[in-house]
Every structure is written in structure tokens, then in C-alpha cells.
Chain A
Amino acid sequence: MKVTIRSWTGVATWRWVANDDNCGICRMAFDGCCPDCKLPGDDCPLVWGQCSHCFHIHCIMKWLNSQQVQHLCPMCRQEWKFKE
């Protein structure tokens, strides 16, 4: 007997490759979306800082905008710089 696979449709779930499950700011899951968004993934992406902490982009932007003097990572208080 010979079995030939013509096509294979699998089912997978996507997830962010991050060192935590939840966003440190909004406490929502990374794989979900920030409180202001409706759709996860492309519409509500994550960003990483150089300190290797990551957040929903909308969350960290909100945080940074509210900081007048210095932009610090809310987790480790180091200066926040986006990881390239």
C-alpha cells in the first residue's frame, strides 16, 4: 500500500515569543489585546525594550506619554529604549 498526502490543513494557535504571559501594564494576556483594542495580533502588537521587558505597544506608549521627565521601563526603572 502506498499513502500519498495530497494536502494537509492543520490547526495551530499563535503566540508571542515573550518571557511572560501577561502585559505588566494592563495585566492582560499578551496573546489577547490591550484594553483599548478589539483585535489581537497585528492590530495590537508587542514591543520589547532594551531591558528585555515587553508590553503591548499601546500600553507602553500610554505610559511613556504620561512620563514627563524621563522615560523609564515600568518594570525595572531603567531608561526605556525600544529594542531594534
Chain B
Amino acid sequence: MLNSYWLDANMSTDDVWKKICLAFPILADNECSRECPEDNVLEEIKELKLNKCIEDIVICRIEQIMRQKITPDFWSRFSERKTEIGGFERFKDAVDFLYNSFSNFLPMLENLEKFRTISRINRVIYGEETLLGTFKVIVTSTLLSQLPLTHQIITEDFYKVSFKVFCNADKSDVDQDESSEDVVQCGGCSHEIEQCHCQAILLVFHETNRKLIELDLLERLAGEVITTLIHIRIENHVQESCKGSFDTSYISSLESWLSTVVMGWLTHIYNVNAVSTQSSIKKFHQKISHFLYETYTRTRIEQLFNIIIEYPDSQPAVEDLRICLQKTDLRLYLTQKLQRALETRLLHPGVNTPDVLTAYVAAIRALRQLDPTGVLLETVTLPVRHYLRWRDDTVRCVVSSLTEEGPSELADELVRGEALQLDEGAPSDEDMTNWEGWNPDPVDADPSKTSKSRRTSDIISMLVNVYGSKELFVNEYRTLLADRLLSQFTYNTEKEIRYLELLKLRFGESQLHYCEVMLKDVYDSKRINAHLHSDPNFKLDRQQFPSTAMILSAQFWPPFKEETLELPDFVKEHLQIYTKAFETLKGNRTLSWKPHLGSVNIDIELKDRKFNLTVSPIHATIIWHFQTKNQWTVEELSQLMHVPATVLRRKIAFWQSQGMLREISTDSFLLVEESSTRSKCPVPPDMVCEDEETESAMASAHDQREEELQVFWSYIVGMLTNLDLMPLERIHQMLKMFASQGPTAVECSLRELRNFLDRKVREHRLLFSGGFYRLPKS
């Protein structure tokens, strides 16, 4: 190509080349000189009509120099460093070097630009209109094409050091007076205070950034490092500021921290020409504030279990989390994390059921606040509900905390009083009046349930729903009520009646009918006692001690534990008189005593002591017998009282603890008449002694259920005799068909049935193989 022009211009090739080199010295030597050639030189070259070609050659040369000299030189400064400060220096050197080389190119570029204008070349090179733009693209691309692996270390050093200095300067504004005296090292540059380099570092930092921005290299070279640094910084700050305290909201303080400290640093980096960087700073702000929210949310989610446990106090934290959840997409993460936390910290045998319940109640309340639709609550607490169903004493705990005295969340909830909402109810229509305010359920909602049922069900309903049936709860309440009535022996039932009314509101009248009768029994007993004692015809006033009774309607009370006790004849006579009086009062009715139940007030006179005690009949009987003989063996007493020796030993322990009896040899007890030998623990007079272990007088719910299931057993035996082999499901179906009809239908879930059958297998009354049950061959 050169050849053809050369022929036209009638010049030698050398002459032409020399001329071109005169205009663009870069082509001739390796160094780019600063001197500017005269304008006429450019004019002359223009005449050669080699415009485009010359431009190409020059740019090619620039690229070559960049690639072969400047870039390797630049990156060579990014090698090993010893300290952070060293890295800082190296980075600064490198940028200075690059900037200088860049500046050296500038006159030549100007020259080329001039050349372009006079020869009217206006083509676009590398997508840039101007030569400067093109040059910057060349610089960036050659730099990035030779990126060494370890370049980030040095960059990181640079920004880390400067960020530290910056933060320190920021901090020292706040607490300068307190700590500056005893600090020898400067928090920013780690030099001694007197020789603090902070100012110098800031200056260098500022300068370097300015250069990088001028080169358009800041984003490319340091963007990632800056972002990482900021992220780490945000993470640390969030961790530090909201570690372990849930009673304040942090969102606003975190946001202001972000916009002052972090954004302050960023503007420090970018703030060279404010207008052009405005938008990129804005974009950056959005990005890092999202990151802040995400970090904060994650931190809170990590702590969510503790937040829940402390719930009413941790309300601000929950509120924060609620706001954050709307801004981030961490719902699923929350569900998984919280479920795992619940499983590892709550749902294992080491935790008491009341504690599980407390946590569950707290979770219900906290998650309600977090997500008013209740979807989150439903998904997260599913394992808790499964777990609670599996625990034996759940019902008992729920019921007792419902009726507990003193501050109990459940009792308060009960007083608030609302009809119980159970899942089984027909799906109610959505509220049509407020259709504009309707929101769809969250994506993770269970579509088979109405959103209303989730929104409205309260804590007690949620607890009852653990089992899905009211009966279990009502039965448990009945047992607990019976226990309380029979252990306190006060005829004062006002409080119980109040609770019963509250419970009726929730569980319905019919369910609690039995309990009503129980309370009426107590009330009636009081009346009957008063009546019998006031009427002299019954001769009760002439007894040696007043005998009263709790007269119960057996059909309405839960089954009693069967225990035997032979009372002293003296007492039996008294009770006989009472029975006679009752029979006279209520014709055709009589009483059957439960001798082991009741309470006895006795005076005990020893040689040197006197007590008044209130004890159970069995305790009274034991000590009564020691009047006739001061030494008994357990066996003798057992025969006399018709009480099993094991029970007797336990009861005797009570008198031992009172210092009345002493075990002289195994199972043989002696009355301690004089306490002189062991007066260490004087018993205060007039004390009321509760039984050490408050035992339930009632058969446990478990035992009752067992009894109910026994009904099925005859059916099952019948089935298996006829059909030989049957799988579990089929037995269940058959039972549903035949056994669960009629007024006394007993429901039995598949799971329960399996447990029942497995127990029978263990008792060798069934055989199980290959999924089939059959009767053992007898």
C-alpha cells in the first residue's frame, strides 16, 4: 500500500518514513518524547494521503508499548509484599507509574487528534469516538489481559489500610477525650501517635483514587475489592451492634451508619468530579443497603430462636425482621433455619414438656407478629406440633397451665375468651366487605386450608389442634379437676366454677357437663354435711370426732385408682354412722367409701412432744396402729391394713421424716417416743403436711385409653380367628366398620392401633411377620 503512494509523491520510502516519524516520534524510538512537532509537519504528512494507514500504525505502536513494556512493568509491582503498609506503598507506586506513563502519551495523542481533524478522519475505534477514549480502552484491556493471580492482595492492602485510617478518623471524633491518653499506637496507621501517618495516608489515598478515576480504572481494578471490603465491614458492624440484644430496633441506626460512615468513605474514594460519579455512588448505595438488609436479616434469623424465647421483650427485633423480610427474599431460609434450631434446641427428650409448650406459645405469638397470615407459623411449627403429639404429658401440661393460678399466658388467653376454632370446621367464606384490602396468601401457604382459619386461630386453639380433638383435653381437665378437688378438700369451688365457665365458652357446654356435675357434688356434699351435723336425730354430734364426707357421683368422675385400705375399727364405726345418717336422709341411697381417699386431722401426743397434723387416711392408720404396739414390721402392717408392702414402705417414710418412726432393722419400725436423741429437726406444731409426692387419685389418661382400646381386642381376635392373616390397614378398616358404631364409639387412629398391636406382639399374644398380623397357634 505504501508503495503506490510513494510513487505518486515521488519520494523515497525513507523520506516518507522519516517525515512520519518526525510527526509521531513514538514510531521511531521506544521512548515517547514530549516535544510537539510543528503543524506544518502534520500538513505535509496529510499530503501523503496515507491518513488512515498512519493512524493505524501509531495506534498499533501504542498497543505494542502498552503490552510489552508498561503493563508488565505495572503488574510487576504487584508481587510479594511483607506488610499491609508495604502493599499500600506498592499499589501507590504502581498507580503513579501508570499515571505517569499515561501522561507521557498525552501530547502524542493530542498530536494524533490534530492530525485527525486536519485530515478529517472521524472513524470509531474500539467503540470510542475520541482518541482518548480509545486509548483508555487500550490501557484497560491490556492491563486486564495480563492480570496476575495475586493482584488482589495488594489492592486489598491499599484499601484496607486507608479504610482503617478513615474509620479511625471517624471514630476518634466521637471518643477522643476518653481513650487517647493511654493509647500509644494510632488506631489508624499503627504508628506511634506522635508519628501518625494518617494524614499522609489519606492524602496518598485521595491522590491515587483521583488518578485511577482519571484513568477510568477504579471500577475495573478496585471495584471488587472495595465491595468485598464494604461487605465485610457491614457484616462485622451488624454482628457487633446487634449481638444478643433484642429489645431495640436497629434498622434506622444501621441505615444512618451506612449512609454516614460507609457512604462517606465511598464518596471519599469517588469524590473527584462530583457530577459524573453521582450516579455510580447512588447505584452503589442501593446495592450495599440491600446487602445491609440481607446481612441484618440473616443475623436476626440466626438468633430467631432466642428472640422467640424472649418474645414479648424482643418485640423490636421481631418487628425489624418483619420489615427486613419484605425487602429481602429470605423466607425460605428463615423457615429452614428456625426449624433446624427448634429441632436441635427444643425437640429432644432433655427438654421438659412445659418448656416446649412455653416455647411453642412464644413462637406462636412472635411468628404471628412476623407474618400475620399465619403461614410462616404453620410451616415452621409443624415439627413442634408433631413432637408434642408424641409426648405423653402434653395435654396435662396444657390443661394445668390453662387453669394455673398466677401469671400464665395461657390462663390470660383463656380469660380473653373466644369460641374455640378447630380445623375440622367447614371452610368459612372470605370476608367480602373488605375485598379491596385482600392479599393473596404467601407462596408457601398450604392451599388446602383457608387463610381465615390461619389468621384467626388463637393460641389455645393452636394447642388444642395439636391433637385435633377437644375430648382429650376435656378428659384431661376432668382428671386434673378431680385431683384438685380431692387433694384440697375445700368446699370452696367458686374459683373452679369460674374456670369451668371460661372453658365452657371455648369447648362448649356439652363437653364439660361432667365437670359441672363434679363441682355440684362438692357443693352438695357441703350442704349434706351441714345438714347431717345440724340435725340431732342423726347422732353425729355425739361422735368422738366429727366425720364429714365428699359424696361423689361415680358415673361422672373419672375412674379412681383402685386401692385398698382397712381403716381402724374405731374409724369404721364412725363412717358407718355417717352412712346410716345419709341413708336416712336420702332414701334408697347408700354410700361406698373410698377409704384411701380423704384427709384426717390428728393430734399426736408423745412423751415430750405434741403435734397437730393433717394427713391422708393411710398415714393416719399407720400411726394409729403404733398406739397398740410400738414396733411393727411392714409385713404385719400390710396384713392388717390390706395395703401392699411397697406402698406401705413409702408411706412410712413420711413418718420417718417426721422423726416419729425409726427403722431398727430391715422392714421393722419402732416408735420414737422421746426425741432427745434426734432433736436436730424440731417439727413446728400445727403444721399441715402435704404428701411428699402428690399422687393422682385418678387412673391416668393413658390407663383410661388403654381400657378403651381393650374393647377392640375381642374384635381383633375374632377377625384373626376367621381370616388368619391380616395387614394393619385392613384391621383398621374392619374396626372402623364394625367396632366404631353405636353411641359409645371409640375412635382409634392407625398409629394408635399399630402401637396397640405392637404391644400385643410384645406380650406374645399376636405374631407379626411380613406385614401381617396373626394369632399365635395355641
Contacts and interface: CB of A to CB of B under 8 A. Distances in A.
B552 A12 contact: yes
A74 to B, nearest CB: 20
Interface string B579-614: 100100010111111110111111111110000100
Interface string B548-562: 111111111100000
Contacts of A32: 553, 555-556
B640 to A, nearest CB: 16
Nearest to A2: B605
A13 B592 contact: yes
A15 B486 contact: no
A14 B671 contact: no
B728 interface: no
B551 A14 contact: yes
B156 to A, nearest CB: 82
Instruction: Give the bracket for the number of chain B residues in contact with chain A.
Output: 35 or more
B39 interface: no
B594 A12 contact: yes
If over half of B's interface residues share one DSSP class (helix, strand or loop), that class is named, otherwise mixed; here it is mixed
Given A13-B592, A14-B591, A5 B545 contact: yes
A69 interface: no
A48 B589 CA distance: 13
Given A3-B603, A46-B588, A11 B547 contact: no
A31 B553 CA distance: 7
A32 B606 CA distance: 48
Contact of A6 (B579, B592, B603): B603
Contacts of A40: 517, 553, 555-556
Interface in B465-516: 486, 489, 513, 516
Contacts of B624: 3
B554 A31 contact: yes
A10 B603 contact: no
Contacts of A12: 549-552, 579, 591-594
A39 B517 contact: yes
Given A2-B627, A7-B547, A40-B517, A14 B553 contact: yes
A78 to B, nearest CB: 21
B636 interface: no
A14 B517 contact: no
A40 B524 CA distance: 12
Contact of A11 (B556, B574, B593, B603): B593
A11 B671 contact: no
Nearest to A10: B598
A7 B590 contact: no
A76 interface: no
Contact of B486 (A11, A41, A46): A11
B601 A10 contact: no
A9 interface: yes
Contacts of A15: 554, 589-592
Contacts of B546: 7-8
B133 interface: no
B600 A1 contact: no
Contacts of B668: none
A10 B553 contact: no
B626 interface: yes
B617 interface: yes
Interface string A14-43: 111110000000000101100000111110
B597 A11 contact: yes
A4 interface: yes
B601 A14 contact: no
If over half of A's interface residues share one DSSP class (helix, strand or loop), that class is named, otherwise mixed; here it is strand
A1 B624 CA distance: 9
Interface string B217-252: 000000000000000000000000000000000000
B575 interface: yes
Contact of A1 (B513, B550, B588, B627): B627
Contacts of B588: 16-18, 46, 48
A11 B598 CA distance: 5
Contacts of A18: 588
Contacts of B630: 1
Nearest to A8: B547
Contacts of A41: 524, 553, 586, 589
B589 A5 contact: no
A5 B598 contact: no
A17 B301 CA distance: 68
A7 B600 contact: yes
Interface in A29-67: 29, 31-32, 38-42, 46, 48
A17 B589 contact: yes
Interface in B563-580: 571, 574-575, 578-579
B202 interface: no
Nearest to B673: A1
A49 B516 CA distance: 31
B623 interface: yes
B698 to A, nearest CB: 12
B749 interface: no
B544 interface: yes
Contact of A9 (B520, B549, B592, B623): B549
A16 B520 CA distance: 18
Given A6-B612, A12-B594, A46-B588, A39 B602 contact: no
A1 B509 CA distance: 53
B560 to A, nearest CB: 8
A64 to B, nearest CB: 20
A1 B553 CA distance: 39
Contacts of B553: 13-14, 31-32, 40-41
A9 B602 contact: no
B406 to A, nearest CB: 27
B92 to A, nearest CB: 94
Nearest to A47: B588
A79 B544 CA distance: 50
A38 to B, nearest CB: 6
B591 A13 contact: yes
A10 B590 contact: no
Contacts of B571: 5, 8
A3 B547 CA distance: 16
B620 interface: yes
A33 to B, nearest CB: 8
A5 B573 CA distance: 13
Nearest to B486: A11
B605 A9 contact: no
B552 A14 contact: yes
A1 B598 contact: no
B485 to A, nearest CB: 10
Given A6-B603, A10-B598, A11-B597, 17 more contacts: A1-B604, A3-B627, A4-B604, A7-B547, A8-B600, A10-B593, A11-B594, A12-B579, A13-B552, A13-B554, A13-B594, A29-B555, A31-B555, A32-B553, A32-B556, A40-B556, A48-B588
18 contacts: A1-B627, A1-B673, A2-B605, A3-B605, A5-B601, A8-B546, A10-B593, A10-B594, A11-B550, A11-B552, A11-B594, A12-B552, A12-B592, A12-B594, A13-B553, A14-B589, A14-B592, A41-B524
Interface of A: 1-18, 29, 31-32, 38-42, 46, 48
- Considering the complex of A and B, which 5 residue pairs feature the smallest CB-CB distances, nearest first? A11-B597, A13-B554, A12-B591, A32-B555, A6-B601
